[in-house]
Structure 1
Amino acid sequence: MKRIALVMLAGLLGSGMAVADQHERADHFEGKEAKTLEEAVTNFSEGNARLAELISADSISNEQMGEIHMVTYTIENALQKIDAEVEAMAVSLEEVHLGSETLDQERVATNGADFLEAAQTLVE
């Protein structure tokens, strides 16, 4: 259920978070790349855990603010990949739906397998 919630979150969040240190923009950081949905889910989970750890302190040092800045890029990358993959899953699922209406077994089987393979990453 947590992974389904993160998919919904991915659709709601925009990108473009910025962190300022002493009124100046922090250096740009790329973050971890997510080439697959599985990598994205892992990066999202690990990034959220680290962010939770960092912000749970009574006070946050400048060094920790820098780390927060970096981890947000990784989380954003993960959300972008999750969003793209969920859009592709929606297309496959719609093909299953339309195939079931027209009794097109090949369309249902092919697109159903594609959908389930991708969806399994989110429901494990």
Structure 2
Amino acid sequence: MKKNRSRFRGGLLAAGDSGTHANAYHSHFMQRRTMKKLLLPTLLIAATAQASSPTEHFEGEPSETLSQAVANFSETNQQLAELLAQEELSMEDLGTIHELSYTLENALLKIDAEVETMAVNLEEVHLGSETGEFERVQNHGSDYLEAAQTLVP
């Protein structure tokens, strides 16, 4: 018996099969495909919720000072790099990454605030140097350098 490819179902039809059989199969195939499309996002949402539920209220390590923020940033980035270097990530790994991201966010918030203060201090150094204000340059320069050397030793 000669076989022909059916464009509807990607399978084989015997020569002489009616289009009705192919249409019925196509309809069943499309229903299953639609069901998979609806089911996949639901499963992904459920898996994500399950993975994040133990850590959704995790606050991360605090970064009270620039020094602490830089240390947290460096150490936590190393941990993240090690996890991301793995060939595959498990749901547990994703949970750990989720927790690490809170610590990194805390560190970045503190670093950002300190960099903004550094920019203000540096501007004061600049303006003081233009106007010959030795004390202004010295005070703001000292604050700037302390933060800058903490950020990049």
TM-score interval, smaller chain:
0.7 to 0.9
> 2:47 aligned to 22, 42, 56, which one?
22
2:134 alignment partner in structure 1: 105
Q: Report deviation, 1:21.
A: 6.2
> 2:67 aligned to 38, 50, 68, which one?
38
Q: Report deviation, 1:49.
A: 0.4
5 Å matches for 1:1-124?
A: 22-24=47-49, 26=52, 27-124=56-153
In structure 2, the residue corresponding to 1:46 is in which secondary structure? helix
Q: Which runs of 5+ in 1 are unaligned?
A: 1-19
Q: Which runs of 5+ in 2 are unaligned?
A: 1-44
State the alpha-carbon separation in 2 of the partners of residues 57 and 97 from structure 1: 47
Q: Deviations over 1:57-104 (max 9, x none)?
A: 111111111101000100111001000000001001100100011101
With the length of structure 1 as denominator, give the TM-score of the two structures: 0.80
With the length of structure 2 as denominator, give the TM-score of the two structures: 0.65
Query: How many residue pairs end up in the alignment?
Result: 105
State the alpha-carbon separation in 2 of the partners of residues 21 and 42 from structure 1: 35
State the alpha-carbon separation in 1 of the partners of residues 84 and 146 from structure 2: 35
- Rg larger for: 2
Q: Report deviation, 1:28.
A: 2.2
**Runs of 4+ residues over 6 Å off in structure 1:** none
Q: Percent identity?
A: 58
